[in-house]
Amino acid sequence: MKIRDTAGDRTFHVVNVAILSVFTILVLYPLIFVVSASFSSAEAIANQEVYLWPVGFNAEAYSTVLASPNLITGFVNSVFYTVVGAIIGTVLTVLAGYAISRDDLPFRKSLTFFFLIPTLVSAGIVPTYIVVRQMGLLDTRWAILLPGAMSVFNVIITRTFYKMNVPNEMLEAARVDGASDFNFFFRVALPLSKPIIAVNLLFYGLAQWNGWFSAFLYTNSPDLAPIQLVLRELLAQSQVNPAMIGGGDVSEIIKRRELFDKLKYAMIVIAMIPPLIAYPFVQKHFVKGALIGSLK
C-alpha cells in the first residue's frame, strides 16, 4: 500500500520543484539563447528579435567557421594545449603536492614557502618575457605550455588532499610490509588520488582552454594561436570605432563588424562544447577532491 505524502511533504516538493525549475531556467536559458542566436540571421540578432528560438533559421555562421582556416587551426591548437597542458600541470602538481604533504620530508616548511613566493611577488610581463626569450621558447608551443604550467593554488589543494587521505598510519603500515617510498607512492598513494587527479586535469585543462595571454605575448605565428586568441582578434578588430582612426575606409570597418556579428554566437557555442562535455565526467570527483581538500 502506498503511503500518502503528508500535506507538508507535498508543499515541500512543490516548493522544491519550483525553486529548482527557476534555477534550471536561469542556467539553461543563456545556453539555449546562444545556440538559437547562432542559427539566426544577422539582422534578427542586430535588432534583438531572438528571444528563445532561432529567427531566420540558417547555418551560415557554422559554414563560415568551417571555411575559416584560422578558426579551425585555433580549435585544433586549443585541444592540443588543453590536453598536453592538463597532463604536464597535473603530473607536476601531484608530484609536488605529495612530496610536501609528507611529514618526514626535510625542510618541508621552507619548500612550501618557496612555492608560495611567486604568489606573493610576481615579476610582471617584461621579466617573464625576457626569461621566455632567453630560454629560446619564443614562438614555440612550449611558450604556451611551460610558463605557469604548475599552479601553486592547485599544489596546496593537492597537498591537503594527501594529508587527509593518505595518513601517516598508512605509510607506516606500508613500511612494515617492506614498501619503499616509490613503491608506496605508485602502489598506494597514487591509486587513492583519482579524485584529485581529475580535479587537477580539469583545472589545468580549463585554464588552457580559456587562455589567450601566453599565446598573445609569446607567439607570433598564426599557426600556434589557440581559439581564444583567434576570437579575441576577431572581437578586437570588429570594435574599432571609425572616429578613432583617421582615414579608415568605412567599408573595411563594416566588413569586420559584419563578420563578427555573424560569427560571435557560433563561436561561443564551439568554444563551450568541450568544457560542457568534460564537466559531467569530472564533476563527481569535485566533491571528494577540490571541495574537501580545500576546506579542511
133 touches another protein (CB under 8 A):
yes
Q: Is the separation of the CB atoms in 155 and 116 below 8 Å? A: no
Please say which residue, 46 or 116, places its beta carbon nearer to another protein: 46
**Per-residue binder mask for another protein (CB under 8 A), 41-60, x = binder:** -xx--xxx------------
Please say which residue, 257 or 288, places its beta carbon nearer to another protein: 257
Three-class secondary structure assignment of 132-169: HHHCCCCCCCHHHHCCCCCCHHHHHHHHHHHHHHCCHH
Three-class secondary structure assignment of 191-239: HHCHHHHHHHHHHHHHHHHHCCHHHHHHCCCHHHCCHHHHHHHHHHHHC
Q: Is the separation of the CB atoms in 152 and 115 below 8 Å? A: yes
288 touches another protein (CB under 8 A):
no
266 touches another protein (CB under 8 A):
no
Q: Is the separation of the CB atoms in 234 and 71 below 8 Å? A: no
Check the CA dihedral 158-205-213-270 and report its sign: negative
**Per-residue binder mask for another protein (CB under 8 A), 140-179, x = binder:** ----------------------------------------
Site for another protein (CB under 8 A): how many residues? 48
Q: Which three cell numbers stand for residue 105?
A: 620530508
217 touches another protein (CB under 8 A):
yes
244 touches another protein (CB under 8 A):
yes
7 touches another protein (CB under 8 A):
no
242 touches another protein (CB under 8 A):
yes
135 touches another protein (CB under 8 A):
no
User: 10 Å Cβ neighbour count for 206?
Assistant: 18
76 touches another protein (CB under 8 A):
no
Residue 63 to residues 238, 260, 266: CA-CA distances in angstroms? Answer: 20, 14, 10
Shortest spacing between CB 252 and another protein, in angstroms: 5
Q: Which stretch binds another protein (CB under 8 A): 12-20, 82-90, 190-198, 255-263?
A: 255-263
6 touches another protein (CB under 8 A):
no
d(CA 197, CA 162): 11
The residue ranges that bind another protein (CB under 8 A) are: 42-43, 46-48, 68, 70, 125-126, 129-130, 133, 138, 216-217, 220, 222, 229-230, 232-259, 261
